[in-house]
Chain A
Amino acid sequence: MTRNAVKATDEAVKQGKDTQGTDKGLARRDLFRAAGLGVGALGAVAAGVTATGGTAEAAPAETTSTGYRETDHVRKVYEVSRF
């Protein structure tokens, strides 16, 4: 990122408010954009990694008392097992 962008974000933080969506949230967003982390940079690859089968799948862990109906899906968190 550029020096100016760093300065701008640092300034934003100094004046900062305290929650997301305020100056800090903006500074954070500006940092990501200045660093080349723009939405859309991953393009089709993003769809590839979030679609089923392309990547390990993240899901909530099973909690108590909600039954096991969803167990197969719900317990599945990641699948780095194909070594």
Chain B
Amino acid sequence: MSSAVDHIVPPAVAEEELFRAQVYALLARLLARPPDAAFLTALGGLAGEGGEFGAALDRLAEAARDSDPAAVEEEFTTLFIGVGGSERTPYGSFYLTGFLNEKPLAELRVAMARLGIARADGVTEPEDHIAALCEMMAGLIGGEFAPEDGDTVGLDGQRAFFDRHVGSWAGRFFADLETSPSARFYRAVGAVGRSFLAVEARAFDLAA
């Protein structure tokens, strides 16, 4: 890597790979903070293209049309922030060990350093938050990071990161979200995430 500028412009990415990055970005957006009115309206226009994932997208669109921003924000707070403990704890370490900030987080930080991923200034949440991990996957697919060894992250690298830090627990998280008592809109988000990760895992197997 001769200069920082070289990796500012991501390399060309095949269409279906670009779409994967978009789904990860969508999940990251929805799990980082609740959607505002404009974003809900856009989500309401989604139309799936068949399959379990397409059906999940259709349900997300329907849920978006049936929701108002204030209600979704309240739902988000109850699910993920909640006074006296949220309904769901969207961190890898928690899912993998039962506790926050355990060894899986330390391992993630090592992987991030190697892949050239840094946490934004001012962010205080541990890096193994589901939204952060989805964003990292999107960035890896889009070639937006600059790995230590100067190489690009291919499917093998994506798979290694996915298996270790995402696939190992996020499917369970999304399934939990799908059945959360307080969830309405976010049940549909859970279904989109769960069905997408299932396709991801299978697709990595195909490429192996």
Contacts and interface: CB of A to CB of B under 8 A. Distances in A.
Interface string A1-36: 100000001000100000010001101110111111
The secondary structure that dominates the A interface is loop
A52 interface: no
Given A45-B42, A49-B22, A56-B28, A81 B117 contact: no
A78 B136 contact: yes
A61 B117 contact: yes
Contact of B46 (A27, A35, A38, A45): A45
Q: Which of A1, A50, A56, A61 has the most CB of B within 10 A?
A: A56
- Interface residue tally on B, bucketed by range: 35 or more
B51 A45 contact: no
Contact of A81 (B16, B28, B123): B123
Contacts of B45: 43-45
A80 B26 contact: no
B203 A39 contact: no
A24 B206 CA distance: 6
Contacts, number: 189
A80 B125 CA distance: 7
A83 B90 CA distance: 13
A24 B156 CA distance: 13
A56 B29 contact: yes
A48 B36 CA distance: 12
A76 B201 CA distance: 28
Interface stretch (B52-60, B98-106, B169-177): B52-60
Interface stretch (B142-150, B160-168, B181-189): B142-150
The secondary structure that dominates the B interface is helix
A37 B20 CA distance: 8
Interface in A39-61: 39-46, 48-50, 54-61
Interface residues of A, number: 51
Nearest to A10: B206
B46 A81 contact: no
A58 B26 CA distance: 13
A36 B1 contact: no
A32 B19 contact: yes
B50 interface: yes
Contacts of A1: 51-52
Contacts of A45: 26, 42-43, 45-46
B88 to A, nearest CB: 13
